[in-house]
Amino acid sequence: MSVRLSMTVNGKPVNADVAPRTLLVDFLRDEMRLTGTHIGCDTAQCGACTIHIDGRAVKSCNMLAVQAEGSNITTIEGIAAPEDNMHPMQTAFREHHGLQCGYCTPGMVMGAIDLVQRHPDPDEAQIREGLEGNLCRCTGYHNIVKAVRAGATAMKSR
Amino acid sequence: MYEFNYQRASSVADAAKKLGTGEDARLLAGGQTLIAAMKLRLANPTDLIDLSGIAELRGIKADKDGITVGAITTHAEVAASKDIQQHIPALADLAESIGDPMVRNMGTIGGSIANNDPAADYPAALVGLGATVKTNQRQITADDFFTGMFMTALEPGEIIESIHFPKPKRAAYMKFSNPASRYAIVGTFVADTGNGVRVAVTGAGACVFRVLQMEKTLSAKFAPDAVANIDVAADDLNADMHASAEYRAHLVSVMAKRAVEKAVAG
Ligand SMILES: Cc1cc2nc3c(=O)[nH]c(=O)nc-3n(C[C@H](O)[C@H](O)[C@H](O)COP(=O)(O)OP(=O)(O)OC[C@H]3O[C@@H](n4cnc5c(N)ncnc54)[C@H](O)[C@@H]3O)c2cc1C
Ligand code: FES
Ligand code: FES
């Protein structure tokens, strides 16, 4: 059985026939070749696969592609404004050394943007709480917190 | 996961009809539990009936004696609801404590209570507040709804439509979380309903339970020291790598005391 799927990904309409058991993360990576979204655990623990659906952060490894029918999806490839290379949150991660190997980073950035949309001026506790679902094996989180704070400030003046 | 057929339901009646046609058809709400279980092949339904497009199942309504929450309302929507923050802040706090933001954006109240994980948070709120579950067939009180580990009073083909929470005089939920998943190692919900006190505990046993002795002493005097010395027997409590039964029993009293402190402080 395959199911017709229509959605918008990074501003472009997408139509496809998918097997119902296809995970959204596999559809994005394998069919759309948007490999910026990573698979860290495949068990909904690590947040590396975080994307936005209609502006809200979700784990794309823990949902079916068909569940995204009719929605507006943004991946890490789609967050920068067309005239910019990078989104202010990405720039903040680079400037504050908020990454080492970079594996968790796309999910961290997507989670951080969702956090700042809900709390435009987050304090350290809100940042740590807000990134509860994103794990990093490298950085020890300290610089990630700094990056998110700087990114929040930069997003205000965007 | 194994192959299955996928169908979107347009109404509750449509979902009930589709549920009846598959050999082993299951409802899909947020998928935060079911998809994970299917990936592990712990659940292998032949058909999934997606409820997410049914508008009548979504949303939060306040009336004069309480709040009604539609079955596919997400944890994030409950946490952010102005009505719930105003009338039952303990319920908004509880929803905000579930998992992480991504889980809260997908996971639903109906999926959580239908699953009845022994460590889930919502069962404590439903039993603590004396809520009523409305299905496509009947109304079920929270006391009758949760029947055992991963078990509920739901019959095959029965679909949760909404949950009605009566407004308490004051209430609070305190959880000792698993540091990784945020599921409750022990969570205690205390509510002064205006018509007696209710104390509901999740995480500690196979299924949410009430502590009647605490309810009695708190009904006489709603103060933290009223529960501090009431010990819960460890005999039937859960023991695993996270906590022994004795430790969980101890946490029940500690969380109850903190919940009363919080409810009194308001
Ligand atoms: C990383 C992670 C952390 C988590 N942490 C917590 C936590 O701290 N506390 C907590 O309580 N939970 C936690 N959860 C579980 C989460 O709350 C789930 O959202 C919830 O248990 C299931 O809701 P769902 O909408 O995703 O249901 P689904 O997974 O879609 O469905 C679950 C079950 O309910 C049935 N069902 C769904 N809707 C209905 C309905 N309307 N009527 C009848 N049956 C229905 C389905 O058929 C299925 O059997 C966590 C999950 C993850 C992945
Ligand atoms: S890959 Fe999705 S949460 Fe880890
Ligand atoms: S930078 Fe390596 S996992 Fe986070």
Note down pLDDT in tens along chain B; length 266 residues.
Answer: 999 999 999 999 999 999 998 889 999 999 999 999 999 999 999 999 999 999 999 999 999 999 999 999 999 999 999 999 999 999 999 999 999 999 999 999 999 999 999 999 999 999 999 999 999 999 999 999 999 999 999 999 999 999 999 999 999 999 999 988 899 999 999 999 988 999 999 999 999 999 999 999 999 999 999 998 898 999 999 999 999 999 999 999 999 999 999 999 98
The strand pairing partners of A57, in sequence order, are A52
Ligand 2 surroundings by CB, under 6 angstroms: A 39-42, 44-49, 59, 61
From B181, B109, B116, B110, select the one nearest B148 (Cα to Cα).
B116
Tell the CATH topology of B170-265: Enolase-like; domain 1 (3.30.390)
pLDDT in the model for residue B107: 98
A21 in contact with chain B, both atoms CB, cutoff 8 A: yes
pLDDT band at residue A126 under the 50/70/90 scheme = very high
Each domain of chain B, given as residue ranges in start order, spans: 1-51, 170-265
Tell the CATH topology of A88-156: DNA polymerase; domain 1 (1.10.150)
Residue A157 has pLDDT above 90, yes or no: no
pLDDT in the model for residue B229: 84
CATH class for the region spanning A3-78 = alpha beta
CATH of B1-51, one of 3.40.50.970, 2.102.10.10, 3.40.50.2300, 3.30.43.10: 3.30.43.10
pTM of the complete model beyond 0.90: yes
Each domain of chain A, given as residue ranges in start order, spans: 3-78, 88-156
Q: Are B1-51 and B170-265 in the same CATH fold?
A: no
Subunit contact A19:B182, Cβ cutoff 8 A? no
Residue of A nearest to B48 (CA): A20
Could you tell me which residues come within 8 angstroms of residue B118 by beta carbon, excluding any fewer than 6 positions away?
A: B149, B150, B202, B203, B205, B206, B207, B238
Per DSSP, A28 falls in state I
Which residue type is seen at A136?
C
Please report which helix (H) or strand (E) contains residue B187, including its range: strand B184-192
pLDDT in the model for residue B194: 81
pLDDT in the model for residue B30: 98
Within 111-130 of A, beta carbons closer than 8 Å to B belong to 111, 114-115, 130
Residue A158 has pLDDT above 80, yes or no: no
From A114, A111, A109, A104, select the one nearest A135 (Cα to Cα).
A104
